[in-house]
Structure 1
Amino acid sequence: MRKMEDALLFSALAFVWGTAFTAIEIGLETLPPLLFAAARLDIAALIFAGVVLLSRNQWLPRTRADMALILSNGILVIGAQFAFAFIGQSYVTSGVAAIIISFTPIITPIIAIRLLPTERIYVTDVIGLCAGLAGVIAIAIAGGSFDGQLLGVGLLLAAAVVFALGSVLTERWTAALPTMSLYAWSMGTGAIFLHVTAYAYSGASFRDVAWTPSAAAALVYLGIFATAGGFLLYFTLLNRIGATSVSLINYASPVVAAIFGAALLGEQITVATVVGFALIVVGFALCNIRPLWRLLRSTWNADVDSRSLERDEVCVRGNLYKKTDDSQNYQQPSD
């Protein structure tokens, strides 16, 4: 029953984060990218702040670590990442944008090795990074264009890098704030960062926006469902299935994005794009081969623990043993 619930939550998160790229594509038809991203965070920050106040959690930052995490998350993980991602997607399709962003879990361990002294580099990390980069390059030249397509892919790759950098930096500090409060402040900080950047970049403000029903609907969907709802789902899954399992969302949401982009926006899914995505997935698997192997083993052990045992079987730490003729002795089954 719990596995079914986890699968439903995972599917819901893949749906809202995958369709977010479709909503961004729709909104970018009329909205300035940076202002669009800022408005998305405005809505999500207000929702998170409301949840924090209603739950009566601690909300005021009290330590330097709290402030460091708020600034790192707000400016890098959320603010700069959204800035690069929204501008980048204005040059490419929603499916391509989702696939390039999925490069994030590949670059993260490479950055961690440079910044965190406890991390080590393995041959599989290097091969995985090369495979992922090959996938990104294949997608970048898929349309035979070295102008808009290449620029968009470069900006989206920058979004993945700043997200990974911010995520690694947050490992240096331990927050006293609850997670919800931390992200409420982080989203508010990211929104302010994007509003300032939008004004400095193009002088964009809400007074200059020509609102359309589709743009307004895209913004509401992104703010409420994809951002606020998506992060709530993410935190729930993080507590239920762990970081390694939930990281697989990076490869489920691009599939959703490609399907909805093709169905609703008429976007083409090229062979080069599919090959590039496959290379990125291979790169992820190589860079995360050890935690993925531990995940598979723990999943197998959980299955063994949960299955009904035969009368002559006993389960010890996930391993099945079968009784011999001597009722005091056990041997492991051959199959």
Structure 2
Amino acid sequence: MTAGVAPVLLRQGPAEWGLLLALVALWGSSFMLVRVSLDAFTPVAVTAGRLLIGAGVLLLVLLATRRRLPLGARTWVFFTVMAVVGNALPFFLIAWGQASIPSGLTGILMAVMPLVVLVLAHFFVAGEHLNARRLAGFVLGFVGVVVLTGPEAVAALVGREASLLSQLAVLGAAVCYGVAAIVARRGPVLNPVVTAAAVLSIAGILVGLGLLAGIAGSGAAGALHAQVGLAPGLALAALGALSTGLATVVYFSLVARAGPTFLSLINYLIPVWAVVLGALVLHERLPPRAFAALGLILAGVVIARWQSLRRRSPA
């Protein structure tokens, strides 16, 4: 553990679990929204659009609540790091990767994020020690993700359907999220809306400049590869306002209250939400393995958090 870091009281009660489930719903929906948006927009345009829309929503909230952005240089360095590592880079990598690899494979690769957090938190976050129980819980949860995504996703690892570069892109996004969770936990204590607005604004400006450069170099092809219909437009709007803007506020609130290891549990729950969303919205049938995976995933969550659950249970 890093010297000089004071222990921080982490809360993992009903309120934190409520925030976790809200974040699962918001982020779990983003994969579907990205897929629909890519029918008309390029990956850079999807990334820039969701960031700028999310930032716009949060800046309006700042104005309505009369909150001000901090002026300290160190705080803005933190904002910039979070903007790049936690938003701009992983959002683009996911959008770019999703254009050519199956969603099941994306789920397997994104499940690496808890393992990144597990190792980093052991060294950089007080009270987040690596032990056999937590490791067993995460491994069981990962097995559940593999069962959920199905054997065809595993086969895609070596098949023609999967692009090696796309796999590495999604894997890189998972690593970025893990690093961002640790950075956020060790960052300054600020209002979540203030932090989210500043981070998304910086990320939106950075990716927006990249989008403008692409448009200048290749014209409309830098932003669009098809005529924009109603569905892609609405998907991008929802992706920015809900899965990016609102989700970022929930993210910073949760990581400050409960810690990055607790936050990393979303990577086991998001695949479940994605399957349920597909059944309800896209009328997909749930395969039997989805229910088996749900049991494994929830069992992994219980094992990983068993000590916390025992402390909260009545004597």
Deviating more after overlay: 130-139 vs 215-224: 130-139
Taking a change above 3 Å as real, the CA distance of residues 85 and 272 of structure 1, as seen in their structure-2 partners, is: farther
Q: Which residue does the alignment assign to 2:60?
A: 50
- Name the counterpart of 1:84: 93
The answer for unaligned runs of 5 or more in structure 1 is 302-318, 320-335
Distance of aligned partners of 1:127 and 1:157 in 2 relative to their CA distance in 1, 3 Å threshold: farther
User: C-alpha distance in 2, partners of 1:103/1:144?
Assistant: 15
SS of the residue 1:72 aligns to: helix
Out of 186, 208, 214, the residue aligned to residue 195 of structure 1 is 208
Say if 2:141 and 2:301, in contact at 8 Å, map to a contact too. Answer: yes
- Report what 1:180 is aligned to: 193
**Equivalent in the alignment of 2:180:** 166
Following superposition, the deviation at residue 13 of structure 1 comes to 3.8
Structure 2 residues without counterparts, runs of 5 or longer: 1-12
Query: What is the percentage of aligned positions where both structures have the same residue?
Result: 24
**Partners of 2:134 and 2:308 in 1: CA distance:** 18
User: What count of residue pairs does the alignment treat as equivalent?
Assistant: 293
**2:40 paired residue number:** 30
Q: How does 1:88-99 map to 2 (within 5 A)?
A: 88-94=97-103, 96-98=105-107
Match of 1:40 in 2: 50
Which amino acid in structure 1 is aligned with residue 231 of structure 2? Answer: S
Contact 2:196 2:245 in 1 (8 A): no
Q: CA RMSD in A?
A: 4.1
1:94-243 equivalences in 2 (<5 Å): 94=103, 96-98=105-107, 100-113=109-122, 121-123=130-132, 141-143=154-156, 145-151=158-164, 152-175=166-189, 177-198=190-211, 203=217, 208-209=223-224, 210-234=227-251, 242-243=258-259
Cα offsets for 1:43-88 (capped at 9, x unmatched):
0001111112221223133141x12210111000111111111111
1:166 Cα deviation from its structure 2 partner: 2.6
Aligned to 1:154, what secondary structure does the other structure show?
A: helix
Quote the Cα distance in structure 2 between the aligned partners of 1:95 and 1:5: 31
Instruction: Letter of the 1:297 partner, please give it.
Output: R
Change in 2 beyond 3 A, CA 1:121/1:232:
closer
Q: Distance in 2 between matches of 1:146 and 1:80?
A: 27
Q: 1:179 to 1:16 in 2, by over 3 A?
A: closer
Name the larger-Rg structure: 1
Q: Which residue identity lines up with residue 51 of structure 1 in the other structure?
A: V
* Residue of structure 2 in register with 1:325 after alignment: none
Residue 195 of structure 1: CA displacement? 2.7
TM-score (norm 2): 0.72
